[in-house]
Chain A
Amino acid sequence: MNDHEEFDDIPGTTVFTTKRSRQGFQLNQFCMSLMTELNRERFRSDERAYLDEWPMTEAQKQAVLDRDYNAAIAEGGNIYFLAKIFATDGQSFQQAAASMTGMSSDEYAQMMISGGRSPEGQRSIKEGR
């Protein structure tokens, strides 16, 4: 397997490659714009209008409006950039991470307190380990 095939073999994980960085450039730059209170206010007051100022794809805009972070990552988003959106929402990193796993925030928090997600069976799809 080459590097990129190996990345696709890791369950439930998207590796932020240079290609994905190109794909998600405008989405991630939009996220960076939320680092001032002025822009956060403008975004909160009319999310759609704010997003329309950016040359993003419709799928990227919809992922942001839906706060669907798995979809945003599939469209080239990177979690450290997307963090500006959930920080704007007043949401914690743990709540946002939980939302990507299909677990409730409480279930996820409990899993973390119990030692986190085990790596068993989570390393490789093909090798089932």
Chain B
Amino acid sequence: MARITAGVATSHVPAIGAALDLGKSGSDYWQPLFDGYDWSKEWITKEKPDVVVLVYNDHASAFSLAVLPTFAIGCAERYAIADEGFGPRPVPEVIGHADLACHITERLILDEFDMTIINEMTVDHGLTVPLSLMFGQPEAWPVKVVPIAVNVVEYPQPTGNRCFELGKALRRAIQSYDEDLNVQVWGTGGMSHQLQGPRAGLINSEFDHEFFDQLVQDPDTLKKVPHIEYLREAGSEGIEMIMWLIMRGALGKKVKELYRFYHVPASNTAVGHLILKPTK
């Protein structure tokens, strides 16, 4: 049977991708950020996951306002890299695990999570920057990916509770897949940041650190945090952090924290990164 062996959370700032792609990762500005992922890169080389179920949000790349699903899952064999306005990132295309994705989709919908099914889409920095941070710049990504896209662009985003419950259903779905696969679940986005209006540049490291602690130890309290609190405390784009709750829900009740990293700033954003291991 498929096993969920770890959860990874990371921010997915576009400028991080640009820094890597343009060869600036060793600069004074960027090096402290990339150094924070050295441990993780080594760890994941040893872990060798077969598949990453990657929870992220599309940033007006695959989904326009014509159709905007709240929760969507990619069942495709492969995903091309989106052109976000400056040409596609020079990274390998993303290979899906269509069979696992179809299984998860069926299980989730029968478990009353009404997923939108995607058979063709491009993927943007929300999905590729986490891959770059964890795997660097390989010729081909060393994992297959099942993308789960969450609407965090238009209010109302799904509640923290719904995200956490989706994570639990995802756990049941993955664990019922009849092939021995090493599966990781990643939650991306965040942490505190605001990209718009006169309040742009807001960072709330106190909120971010509390979020880290509660995600690890007390997600049942964290899942109740309402939209307005994210908006006031973590900035209008900080609400992306609800996607970390999907990852956390998929890991079961207790987890062990293997690694934590926090860095301000990457462009406009506080970067947070966490690696968790489910414990029995």
Q: Which residues of A pack against B, CB within 8 Å?
A: 3, 6-7, 10-18, 21, 24-25, 28-29, 31-32, 34-37, 40, 69-70, 73, 78-81, 83-88, 90, 92-94, 97-98, 100-102, 108, 111-113, 115-119, 122-124
Contact = CB atoms under 8 A, between A and B. Distances in A.
Interface in B234-280: 236-237, 264-265, 267-268, 270
A108 B61 CA distance: 27
Contacts of A29: 64-66
A116 B228 contact: no
B132 interface: no
B203 A116 contact: yes
24 contacts: A12-B198, A12-B200, A13-B236, A28-B60, A78-B153, A79-B237, A80-B60, A83-B59, A84-B60, A88-B85, A93-B15, A93-B267, A100-B200, A101-B198, A102-B198, A111-B201, A112-B203, A113-B265, A116-B192, A116-B202, A116-B265, A116-B268, A119-B203, A123-B232
Given A15-B236, A101-B201, A122-B202, 5 more contacts: A13-B231, A18-B155, A40-B85, A80-B60, A116-B265
Nearest to A102: B198
A87 B86 contact: yes
Nearest to B233: A119
Task: Determine which residue in B85, B86, B236 has the highest number of CB atoms from chain A within 10 A of its CB, and name it.
Answer: B85
Contacts of A31: 60
B170 to A, nearest CB: 25
Given A97-B196, A116-B201, A17 B268 contact: no
Contacts of A13: 194, 196-197, 199, 231, 236
Contacts of B200: 12, 97-98, 100-101, 108, 117
A10 B65 contact: no
A28 B68 CA distance: 13
Given A78-B154, A117-B203, A35 B198 contact: no
Interface residues of B, number: 46
Contacts of A32: 60, 64
A11 B267 contact: no
B204 interface: yes
B233 A16 contact: no
Contacts of B231: 7, 10, 13, 15
Contact of A35 (B61, B197, B203): B61
B5 interface: no
B125 to A, nearest CB: 10
Nearest to A18: B154
Nearest to B68: A21
Given A28-B64, A29-B65, A124-B232, A108 B201 contact: yes
B87 A25 contact: no
B207 interface: yes
